[in-house]
Amino acid sequence: LHNQGITLLKEAEAAQEDSTRRRFYAEAASWFKRADQLDPEALDNVYNLGLVYFQLVSLGDSTHAGDARETFERFLVRAEKKEERANTLYQLTLLEIRAKDWDKADEYADRFIAADPHDPTAYQLKAVATTERGKAELSEAYIIFYNSLEKGKPVENLDAWLGQAKTRYGATGDVAKALKEKGTPEEVRSYTDSSGNDMDSFFYWSKGEAIAFYGGNKRGALAFPAQTP
């Protein structure tokens, strides 16, 4: 049953027309569902069942949104690999964004960041959700984290960069205050936007903390599970 579902899933992915893809995904769902009824502990099957439901919703069949959410949540309870959890939470966040359930999208984006705080897409989706919830200032911080991780580069000579930042932004500015309070970050990532302003992110990975700056002014901070080297 599972193998037949996989075959149909591949057929759907290769199809050119949305109507054909929908048909193959719907057929795959029926096979994965039967396999799930026989062996609900088969984690691969649970994920693939959630995936075909998600794809059906992406193709306009909103009736399966609840099925996708419930099945992916079942998967998350037992998934052990960080990559699997992050990928599933990415899809759940997208699911809620498409449904315009901004509270749920915000919640899933938080869980996505917690699962993999190194993934810039998590911050991008969080920025979307917070913007739609009317939290523009908070959204700006997540846009900074996204841009510095996705488009920026890690600062190579950290001590030299921090010394220049104190001079550039002032000895009593937000950057200097953060360094005094939190100490030297384990990583700094910087990106210059189209206006010529710097987006800087300080990451204290082992503490599970990050701070966002725009033009040297603090725009927000966040906490996540401490990351091992």
In tens digits, the chain (229 residues) has pLDDT values of 999 999 999 999 999 999 999 999 999 999 999 999 999 999 999 999 999 999 999 999 989 999 999 999 999 999 989 999 999 999 999 999 998 999 999 999 999 999 999 999 999 999 999 999 999 888 999 999 999 999 998 999 999 999 999 888 988 899 999 999 999 999 999 999 999 999 999 999 999 999 999 999 999 999 999 988 6
Task: Give the pLDDT of residue 229.
Answer: 62
- Residue whose tokens read 């309870």: 77
Single out the residue of 221, 219, 220, 217 nearest to residue 168, CA to CA: 217
Task: Give the pLDDT of residue 123.
Answer: 97
User: Contacts for 89-96 with beta carbons within 8 Å, 24 or more apart?
Assistant: 89/115, 89/122, 90/119, 90/121, 90/122, 90/125, 91/50, 91/51, 91/54, 92/68, 93/122, 93/125, 93/129, 94/58, 94/125, 95/54, 95/57, 95/65, 95/68, 95/69, 96/129
Q: How far apart are CA 80 and CA 76, in angstroms?
A: 8
Question: Which tens digit of pLDDT belongs to each residue from 134-155?
Answer: 998 889 999 999 999 999 989 9
3-state secondary structure the chain: CHHHHHHHHHHHHHCCCHHHHHHHHHHHHHHHHHHHHHCCCCHHHHHHHHHHHHHHHHCCCHHHHHHHHHHHHHHHHHCCCHHHHHHHHHHHHHHHHHCCCHHHHHHHHHHHHHHCCCCHHHHHHHHHHHHHCCCHHHHHHHHHHHHHHHCCEECCCHHHHHHHHHHHHCCCCHHHHHHHHHCCCCEEEEEECCCCCEEEEEEECCCCEEEEEECCEEEEEEECCCCCC
Question: What pTM did the predictor assign?
Answer: 0.89
Counting beta carbons within 10 angstroms of the beta carbon of residue 95, is it exposed (0 to 12), middle (13 to 18) or buried (19 or more)? buried
Question: Which tens digit of pLDDT belongs to each residue from 169-179?
Answer: 988 899 999 99
Q: How far apart are CA 128 and CA 110, in angstroms?
A: 12
